[in-house]
Structure 1
Amino acid sequence: MAALVASLSLALTTPQPVALSTTVGPSQVRREQWHLQYLDIAKVHQISQGAGVIVAVADTRVFDHPDLRGNVLPGIDITTSSPVNRQAPSSHGTLMAGLIAAHGQGKGGGALGIAPRAKVLPVRVQPDLQQGSTEDLAAGVEWATANHADVISISSVAGASVRLQQAVRAAIEANIVVVAAAGNRPEDSGVGYPASEQGVVAVGGTDKTGRLASISVTGPEIDVVAPAADIYSTSYGGKYAKGTGTSSATAIVAGAAALIRSKYPDLPAQEVAHRLTATAIDKGPPGRDDEYGYGVIDLVAALTADVPPLGFETPSVTAPTSTAAHDSSDDNSTARGLATLGVLLAAGGGYLVWRRRRRAGNPPPRISR
């Protein structure tokens, strides 16, 4: 059984670093970050920028970068694998950190994160350019929990080892918002672990039109989707990189959770997840579906909507109008849903009906390549 749960794979196609002196540098990268306009980030940052929130990034190394300087806390290296090739470092962890908390370089230059006043807590659980260990990820989640993370971002898919399951469940019990990548096609046939765990916000990805990205896996565990295609962010050596995968979408949603926790500091973790899913813009078939979950995240609505708390019944509420996350077909409804303890509009009844989201049972452990 141990062999079935030993592997850890990143949920991102390999990001290619772009030298500052060639195609994309600080003056161009903000324009290349199409997801910022898509999510109406200028309006979002008038409401919240994530101040006072710590987001643990369980990933590869987070390198020093001008756009992240001052926003990265002392972290830990938990990797137990053999030494890495220092000549070919991985951009992955730095890419994720920038998507969450990059602050740019002033006057609209440099990369900008979803929560630029949040702090990143780097938890290195994967060696550069090598497959990681599920046990390292478990230890990383344990360490992030013990060091008071408010959000844990996991842009990888692992085997559901006993220790990892215990670590993730303990983080949830500790009032931490755990956000995880659903996984990428064709490597994964369904939503991977820990995204498939009850209480974790499972994230799929969309393309630039708002439609499901071709790389995003589907399944009954999907909660929300976010931009995942050609996403630019920070890289090593002061450079920038772009990646495609549910990794990027996960970091964006983790940043969104930081925004909510900053604006509503007393809101429990499950209510933060509730806000993300209850205000999501419905896509696909009406209501929750296996491709989009409850829909594309709507950051303005998540920060401003009057969202009834979990377990509360009230007459039907008209959702606020938002211009965020519109696709090219204008096929955007305002039906809302929620993930961890879902909310659905009762058909024809005008009352919110509450139910548990997750399916019965858990998938067996498997290797994610």
Structure 2
Amino acid sequence: MRGLRSRKLPLKQEQDIMETYGPTVYGPLQDQFRSTAQAANVKAAVKLLAACQDDQTTFDGESNGVFTESFIELFRKAATRKKNAPELIDAIRERYYYPRPNFFEYGAIIPSFDAAFPFQIDIPDAAVVKGSRKPDLKPTPAGRNLTKEEEWDEVKVKRNAQLLVTWKVPPAKDIDPGKDIDILEKGADYLVLEMKTTPHEHSWSAAHALRQSLLAAGLEAVVEPIMSVSPAQDKRATREGDANNPDYIREWPPAMGEAAIGWHLGDAHSQLAKATAEVRATPGAHVRIAHLDTGYIAGHPALPENLDLQRQRNFVSKENPDLAQDKPESGQDGHGLGTVVLLAGGKVTKTQTFGEYEGYIGGAPVATVVPCRISESVVIMNDRTFAEAIDYAIGEGCEVVSMSMAGKPSQRMARAVNRAYEAGIVVVSAASNCWYKGTGALLPKCVLFPAAFERVIAATGAMYDHKPYDVDFLREGSERAISTQYMQGSWGPASRMTRALAGYTPNTPWASSVHPFVRSGGGTSSATPQVAATAALYIARHRNEMEQKGYYDEGKKWMKVEAVRHALFTSAAKGNVFADWKKYYGNGIIRAWDALQVPVAEPSTLVQSPSAESTWWGIVEIVGSFFKRRKLFRSTTPVPPEEALAAELLHLLQTDPQFYELFSRIDLSNPVEIEATIGQPGFRDKVLASPYASSWLKEAMMM
């Protein structure tokens, strides 16, 4: 009943039946009807909608097969009866991940039948035939084929699930994954797999199913997703790198004529230009930053002067590990380029900035920057590449990490954050963005991970006028057309804002591959490198004092992180620029030069932040303990570990829009609140209704 069982006969019974009845019953029947294929001569218009591909086996649902149940749910919606056959099969493919529903057509081409609901009986003009189509017998490629130019209201990012399999005891021989699974990476005790017929939304279903299959084969392993995908970061939903729109986004301040490119660096805003000048005047000042993003685009005139190409590293599977370059056609027009230039970009001329600005464009151009490509698109947050890049940054002596990406938490992500913190690295991560209109609520309106860990600085957004980067503070009377203007910054709840700090966005300069710059950089992607640059300048300016206080000694390096955060937080602009600063900014808006004037904090005043791993694992333990008392774990059949189901549930809150409002306000550090929430009948009913929840999780919610 978990959507993972088939009515197919067990192999042993099938073999016994064929041995007994094959020669006398099935063989003669097959011979009687075995003839040359006649599909090409069929005059009718044939459309096959089936539960699986020819070489797959379908599964049971709760009461019917998963395919039939999908039909039943869809037919309850009036809009379904307006879909033609391809649209209907696409809708079903959104409802379950495996096997892949099949659509096959051949025979007469009847335009009215092609456009109509396939189960309509009386179709007008059904006698009008416009040719014929031969059956396409080629294998159907996995995943839907959506063009890059889809309409806004149909934006869907289609990525296959990727799973990490960690062996408890490595198998004695290689595993044949079959044709539906690709092995992306292989180590002594692990595999990284891509599930070619499984969309990323159903990664946990695939993980549970794969673990059960391995157990049945006598292999014990931990199987978990490694990738989260954000449709809200897709190219069609942001103005980051929109080279065809070089002007300011008129809905948000500033507007054309109010400011020049580079406004965010000035004394009235981040003070980064003034702070950089002071660090340049400091003898021996230096600092190294790891930039985790999609990489850089070679040849841009504003690339950092100290971009460390010797240390560049690419962590994306099947790419050159020694080349961290992005491509202009990547779908983000160089997200990594835009953020690395804001972080430490070099000198630009007025001819490159519409005649508006001349000078250093980056927040910390004195810093050395190590480019790390951890994803081919900002859409994707892969905790494996994140963890590997963090370890690389530690090994290369980086002291700041800047990452304008966000995703779903994992124990691996948390451990990487802990390693960075204990190595004295200040990690700055985007709080995330969300959308208030358009395709619907894309992403929860809150701080996501790793920014939500207390050992990370969460970068939120403040605008030109120091008001929050939030729809409530849009320009009065501005026109709102469905477009990228519907993006806003994320913040809150209060429990996730204790280590937050705001940088300036939107309408910051954004390095482009068409124009040298556009004026419409946006999202917390723009704010993050400014916060990271402020941290880097403080380290470069106060390195000697921190060394004298022992903050570079083993076992005390975390004190450097806390000392830097103390300076940035205490110097930040607060009520003097915006009354409700704590709600939206946590600790205020960066003031880089003011931060440099803050003395290095004494060891006795510094308090170690809670472990990211214990924070995440504590949440998982609470939820897992709840599941352990449910019906599922009273059965004798094999079930996924309770901690795996707990992690799936927490990911579900960030995947299914019906939970976004809840996830945006719940205190993840409060076990009483968490258990009370997940124990409510209304919450249970939402999980049971969610198309993203695995059948295992649904069963675990039952008493």
Same-fold status (TM-score > 0.5): yes
Equivalence for 1:256: 534
Equivalence for 1:272: 564
Q: CA RMSD in A?
A: 3.5
Q: Which has the larger radius of gyration?
A: 2
1:269 Cα shift? 2.0
- Residues 21-52 of structure 1, C-alpha deviations (whole Å, 9 max, x = no match): x879xxx9x93122112223443233125952
1:237 Cα shift? 6.0
Equivalence for 1:16: 241
- Residues 193-241 of structure 1, C-alpha deviations (whole Å, 9 max, x = no match): 1111121111110111101101222223222111021111323367224
Aligned partner letter, 2:343: I
Change (3 A) 1:272 1:69: closer
Q: Pick from 264, 273, 291: which aligns with 1:35?
A: 264
1:92 Cα shift? 0.8
Select between 50-59 and 127-136 the one with higher mean Cα deviation. Answer: 127-136
| Secondary structure at 1:290 match in 2 | helix
CA distance, structure 1, for counterparts of residue 318 and residue 523 of structure 2: 24
CA contact (8 A) 2:240 2:510 kept: no
Equivalence for 1:226: 503
CA contact (8 A) 1:261 1:272 kept: yes
Change (3 A) 1:306 1:134: closer
Match runs of 1:28-177 below 5 Å:
31-37=260-266, 38-49=269-280, 51-64=285-298, 65-68=300-303, 70-74=305-309, 75-80=312-317, 87-88=329-330, 90=332, 91-105=334-348, 109=358, 112-128=361-377, 130-177=379-426
Equivalence for 2:194: none
Equivalence for 1:316: none
CA distance, structure 2, for counterparts of residue 70 and residue 53 of structure 1: 14
1:131 Cα shift? 2.5
Q: Highest relative contact order (Cα 8 Å, sep 6+), 1 or 2?
A: 1
CA contact (8 A) 1:17 1:239 kept: no
| Secondary structure at 1:191 match in 2 | coil
CA distance, structure 2, for counterparts of residue 69 and residue 225 of structure 1: 23
CA distance, structure 2, for counterparts of residue 4 and residue 341 of structure 1: 34
CA distance, structure 1, for counterparts of residue 421 and residue 597 of structure 2: 24
- Check if 1:194 corresponds to 2:450: yes
Q: Pick from 489, 495, 518: which aligns with 1:216?
A: 489
CA contact (8 A) 1:98 1:111 kept: no
1:14 Cα shift? 4.1
Aligned partner letter, 1:79: V
Equivalence for 2:477: none
CA distance, structure 2, for counterparts of residue 9 and residue 97 of structure 1: 21
Equivalence for 1:7: 228
Aligned-residue sequence identity (percent) comes to: 25
1:153 Cα shift? 0.7
- Residues 161-208 of structure 1, C-alpha deviations (whole Å, 9 max, x = no match): 221111111011001111111111232332111111121111110111
CA distance, structure 2, for counterparts of residue 10 and residue 35 of structure 1: 28
Change (3 A) 1:77 1:202: same
CA contact (8 A) 1:9 1:156 kept: no
CA contact (8 A) 2:273 2:363 kept: no
- List structure 1 runs of 4+ shifted beyond 4 angstroms: 1-5, 8-12, 81-86, 355-358, 360-365
CA contact (8 A) 2:433 2:524 kept: yes
Aligned partner letter, 2:289: V
- Residues 251-271 of structure 1, C-alpha deviations (whole Å, 9 max, x = no match): 100011111011011431221
CA contact (8 A) 2:426 2:535 kept: yes
Match runs of 1:289-328 below 5 Å:
289-306=582-599, 308-309=601-602, 311-312=604-605
Change (3 A) 1:307 1:261: closer
Select between 99-108 and 196-205 the one with higher mean Cα deviation. Answer: 99-108
1:132 Cα shift? 4.1
CA contact (8 A) 1:71 1:102 kept: no
TM-score, structure 1 normalization: 0.76
| Secondary structure at 2:371 match in 1 | strand
Unaligned runs of 5+ in 2: 1-203, 208-223, 249-256, 321-325, 351-356, 436-442, 471-487, 547-559, 620-646, 656-703
TM-score, structure 2 normalization: 0.42
| Secondary structure at 2:532 match in 1 | helix
| Secondary structure at 2:366 match in 1 | coil
Select between 35-44 and 235-244 the one with higher mean Cα deviation. Answer: 235-244
Aligned partner letter, 2:456: V
Match runs of 1:280-291 below 5 Å:
280-283=572-575, 289-291=582-584
CA distance, structure 2, for counterparts of residue 259 and residue 213 of structure 1: 25
| Secondary structure at 1:178 match in 2 | strand
Change (3 A) 1:156 1:11: farther
1:120 Cα shift? 1.3
Select between 149-158 and 265-274 the one with higher mean Cα deviation. Answer: 265-274
- Residues 107-163 of structure 1, C-alpha deviations (whole Å, 9 max, x = no match): 863661111111111110110365342222222222222221110011111221221
CA distance, structure 2, for counterparts of residue 96 and residue 142 of structure 1: 21
Select between 115-124 and 237-246 the one with higher mean Cα deviation. Answer: 237-246
If each structure's helix is expressed as a fraction of its own residues, which one has the higher value? Answer: 2
Aligned partner letter, 2:388: A
Aligned partner letter, 1:54: R
Change (3 A) 1:237 1:149: farther
Equivalence for 1:366: 651
CA distance, structure 2, for counterparts of residue 273 and residue 129 of structure 1: 26
CA contact (8 A) 2:288 2:399 kept: yes
1:305 Cα shift? 2.9
Change (3 A) 1:35 1:310: farther
